[in-house]
Amino acid sequence: MQMTKVCLDEITFIAVLVACSHVGNIDEGNRYFHIMRRKYKIEPNIRHCGCVVDMLGRAGLLKEAFDFIASMKIEPNAIFWRSLLAACKVHRDVEFAKRVNEQLLRMRGDQSGNNVLLSNVNASQGQWDGAEKIRS
């Protein structure tokens, strides 16, 4: 992109971050996220940060994604936490899912949907008692 003189703007970086997320290239995604700010003076918006959370979650870097959300300058919304909760299901980490769900509960959002996600994480691990308890 730089060699062809493509104008790098916030939309371009969203596309690059999504691509890095989908191919699992975490190092490259992190590099682009940082040079976006340092070299191109583009402040990350909620979409850029969401891409990074998705990228880390897909790679199973759940703690890193959690820490990233906690350190963002942007106030995280429920979408960030639900994305991470979904990654917990994919990577079968029930304990971490409980920690993420606590963040959702603090937001006092649509708790029924959040509880369904947490219940599904438990069920994916065969923890049927835990899944049933959460849904009831």
Is residue 40 located within the same domain as residue 87? no
- My answer on whether 99 and 129 are in the same domain is yes
**What residue ranges in the chain does DSSP mark as E strands?**
none
> Is residue 9 domain-shared with residue 64, that is, in the same domain?
yes
**Which among 28, 58, 76 is the end of a domain?**
76
pLDDT tens digits, 78-119? 999 999 999 999 999 999 999 998 998 888 655 656 666 667
> Residue 107: its pLDDT value, please?
82
Residue 84 lies in domain: 77-136
* pLDDT per residue as tens digits for the range 57-78: 999 999 999 999 999 999 999 9
Tokens of 111: 């708790």
**What is the number of domains present in the chain?**
2
CA distances from 12 to 2, 5, 38, 42 (A): 12, 13, 16, 11
Q: 64 and 81 in one domain? A: no
Mean pLDDT of the chain, nearest integer: 87
